[in-house]
Amino acid sequence: MEDILKEIEELRKKLNYHSKLYYEKDAPEISDYEYDMMFRRLTELEAEYPEYQSDTSPTVRVGGAALEKFEKVVHPQRMGSLQDVFSYEELSDFISRIDENDEYSVEYKIDGLSVGLTYENGRLILGATRGDGNVGENVTENIRTIRSIPLEIPYKEHLVVRGEVYMPRASFEKLNLSRQETGEPLFANPRNAAAGSLRQLDSKITAKRNLDIFIFNVQESALSFSSHRESLGFLQEQGFKTVKGRTVRGIDSIIKAVSDFGEKRSELPFDIDGAVIKMDSLVRRVQVGENTSTPKWAVAYKFPPEQKETKLLDIQINVGRTGVLTPLAILEPVFIAGSTVSKATLHNLDFIRERDIHIGDYVTVQKAGDIIPEIVSVNKNKREGVKEFSFPEYCPSCGERIYREEGEAAYRCTNIGCPAQALRNIEHFASRDAMNIDGMGPAVVEALYNAELIRDVSDLYYLNARDIENIERMGETSAKNLIEAVENSKTRGLDNLLYALGIRQIGKKAAQSVAKKFNNIDDYYTLSVEDLCSIDDIGSISAQNIVNYFSHEKTKEIIERLKNAGVVTVYEGQENQSNRFEGMAFVLTGTLPTMTRNEASDIIIANGGKVSGSVSKKTSFVLAGEEAGSKLTKAQSLGVRIISEEEFLEMVK
C-alpha cells in the first residue's frame, strides 16, 4: 500500500507541475496525451483506493455533482467597483486631482467576472462571486475546476484574495462554434461566456469551459504590505497567477502605458476592455480615501470598440458538425482591432432578415468583445445593385434536402453520412456516456480520420492495430488498448447505441425509454411518429427526429455494418418489476463499503426510485458512506433521513 500512496503522491506532484507550466507559463514540457495518461492513471488509483483521496488532488478539478442552487455569501469586506473614464482628458483630470508625482500601477482590465477566494490553513475553502459587492454566490465547486487556481498554498493563515475569472479567446471561439453547430444562442463576448460558465449548477460543465483567472488584490490578511507591488509579489510566491501591469509615475507615463495596452490588446490570448490605474502606495490610498461606492485612488479607463465600414461581397453557407447550416458573410478585407477581417458570422436567416442585409451592401463591422467579427448595421444610403439572400434547398456538403423545424431559427442537414458532420458524430459515439470507447478522445478520432482509417462510426469496428500503430504518438501498446476498448464497447446495448448515434434531442433517458419499448433496431425503419409518441418521455419533435434519422439510406448502411461487426443492436435489459422506491428520491454521498455509487443508483432506478445530485426538502433518503461531506450536513439541517448501505440493502430485500 505504501507503493500505491507513493505513486499517487508522485502523480499529483507531476500533474501540478505540468499544469502550472501549461496554464501559467505557456511553456509545456510534455504532450497533452502524456498529461492525459498521467491524469487517467491518478483517477483510476483514487477510485480504487478511496482512502487516499484528497480535496487538493488535480482530479477534483473535473467537476462534481450538479448543485440545486447557489448559497449566498456575505463578503466580510465589500468587493467594490471602479469609476470609469473614457478619454485621456478624463484620465488626466483624475490623476491631477490626486497627485501625479505618486507611483501608479497600470494593469490590464480583464473582461471577466470578479470573485473572492478564501484560504484557511493553506487550503482553498471558498470561492464566491462579487454579486452586488456585499453579497455574492458560493461557486466553490466551479472555482475548483480552474486549473490556475492553487488548491493549497504555503501561507497557512487566513487569506482572502480577489481576482477576475475570464475565458481565453480560443476557448470562447470553440464554445461558440459548438453552440452554433447545435443551434444554441451564441455568447455575445468572452465575459458573458465566463459568467455563464462559472454559474453553472453542474460543475462538470464549468470544467469543460477552460476558464482561467488573474489575481489582482489581497483582500484580507494578517500581513502588512507597504505597496500594491509588494502584495503582488507575495501572491506570486503563493502560486497565484497575478494580473499583468507596470508601475509608472507621471501623467504622460500613465497615458503611454494605457496606450500600449490598447495597441497590443488584440495580440493577447484573453480579452481586456481597458486598463486599471491605481495608486501603488497602500498608505497613500488610505490618505486619499473613498467615495460612496468607489475608491478615490483608482479608476478604470475603458477602450472604445473599433468599427469599420466595408462591402459585403457574398454570403456562403457553412455546415456544422451537427448539421446546422450557418450563413457566413464574405467581406472586402478590412483591418479592425489588430487583424484583417474578411468574414463574419450571420448566425441564421432571421438575423439577416431583421437587419435587412443584402449581398453587395456596405456594412459596419466590429469585433464582438474585440474577437468575433460581426455586422452591426447596413449603410442603406450606399445601397445599389444589391441581391437578396435566400437559403439553399440542399446541403452544400452532401446534397441532401435541408430542414427547418417550426419554432427553430436554424436550418439543418439530417444526413448521417454528411462529411461535415463526421468527426463530431464519431467523437460523440465514442464518448463515455455513449459507447464508452476508452482512449477514443477527440484527438485520437481526428488522427484516425486524417489517416483515412474512419469516415463514420461503423468504421471504428473495422480498425486493426497495425494501421493504428503507424499514427503519430500511438505505438503498439496504445493501438492494442484501443482495439480492446472498441471490442468491449460492442456489448453496451441498444439504449447506449441509440444515444451514441447522436439523434437530435435523444438523450440518455429518452434512448433508454425508446429501447425498452422497441427492443430491436430492425423495427426502427418502420416506426411512425405516433408509435414513438406512445412513450412517456418522447414528444412529437423527438419522435420526428427519430423517424427522419432512420429514413436515410446511409443510416441503414451504418447499422448493418455495426451488426456485422458484432455490435449488440437489441435491448437486453430486464426491467425490475419492483416499485418499492416509487415516488422516492435518493441522494448518494461518500464512499460505500461494498458497492459503487453507480451500482447503488442502478438498484434504486430498477426499483422505481430516482437519484438526485443535490439534497433538498424533496429528498427522501441520503445514502451516505465514508467522507460524506457537505451533502450529509445539508441533509441533517433539513431533517432528511440518512441511511447506511446496510440499511439500504435491507430496504431492497
What is the per-residue pLDDT across 573-582, written as a single tens digit (0 to 9) for each? 655 556 888 8
Question: Given a cut of 90, is residue 271 above it in pLDDT?
Answer: no
Q: Is the dihedral of CA 262, 263, 266, 268 positive or negative?
A: negative
CA atoms within 13 A on the CB side of 7: 13
| Percentage helix, strand, coil for the chain under 3-state DSSP, each rounded to 5 | 40, 25, 40
CA atoms within 13 A on the CB side of 485: 17
Place of cell 458532420: 421
Task: Read off the pLDDT band of 422 (50, 70, 90).
Answer: confident
For the question of residue 509 being annotated catalytic, the response is no
- Residue from 156, 142, 150, 165 nearest 71 by CA: 142
Beta carbons within 8 Å of 598's beta carbon, 6+ residues apart: none
DSSP 320: -
> Regarding beta strands 362-368 and 610-612, do their DSSP bridges make them parallel or antiparallel, or are they unpaired?
unpaired
Mean pLDDT calculated for residue range 403-425: 79
Question: Given a cut of 50, is residue 26 above it in pLDDT?
Answer: no
| Helical H segments across 470-535, by residue range | 475-488, 494-500, 508-517, 529-533
Q: Give 610's strand partners.
A: 585
- Residue from 405, 571, 407, 430 nearest 504 by CA: 405
* pTM reported for the whole predicted model: 0.50
Mean pLDDT calculated for residue range 489-500: 92
Percentage above 90 pLDDT, the chain: 41
Question: Given a cut of 80, is residue 166 above it in pLDDT?
Answer: yes
How far is C-alpha 42 from the geometric centre of its chain's CA atoms? 22
Mean pLDDT calculated for residue range 137-149: 93
Neighbouring CB atoms inside 10 A of 473's CB total 12
- 383-392, 567-576, 584-593: which is most confident: 383-392
Q: What is the pLDDT of residue 67?
A: 46
Mean pLDDT calculated for residue range 298-324: 87
Q: What are the Cα distances from residue 423, in Å, to 448, 450, 471?
A: 10, 10, 17
Q: What are the Cα distances from residue 441, in Å, to 35, 101, 497?
A: 14, 57, 18
Contact 307, 295 (CB under 8 A): no
Determine the residue type at 629: G
Percentage above 70 pLDDT, the chain: 90
Mean pLDDT calculated for residue range 515-533: 91
Contact 91, 301 (CB under 8 A): yes
CA atoms within 13 A on the CB side of 142: 31
- 30-44, 50-64, 137-151, 464-478: which is most confident: 137-151
Burial of residue 365 (number of CB atoms within 10 Å: 0-12, 13-18, 19+): buried
d(CA 19, CA 161): 21
**Cα angle 90, 367, 107; round to 5:** 45
Average pLDDT, the chain: 86
Catalytic residue among 14, 20, 72, 109: 109
Q: What is the pLDDT of residue 66?
A: 42
Contact 75, 133 (CB under 8 A): yes
DSSP 69-122: SPPEEE-SS------EE-SHHHHHHHHHHH-TTSEEEEEEEE-SEEEEEEEETT
Q: Let me know how long the chain is.
A: 653
Q: Which of 40-54, 275-289, 638-652 has the lowest mean pLDDT?
A: 40-54
DSSP 413-482: ---TT-GGGHHHHHHHHHSTTTT--TT--HHHHHHHHHTTS-SSGGGGGG--HHHHHTSTTTHHHHHHHH
Contact 337, 367 (CB under 8 A): yes
Mean pLDDT calculated for residue range 130-138: 84
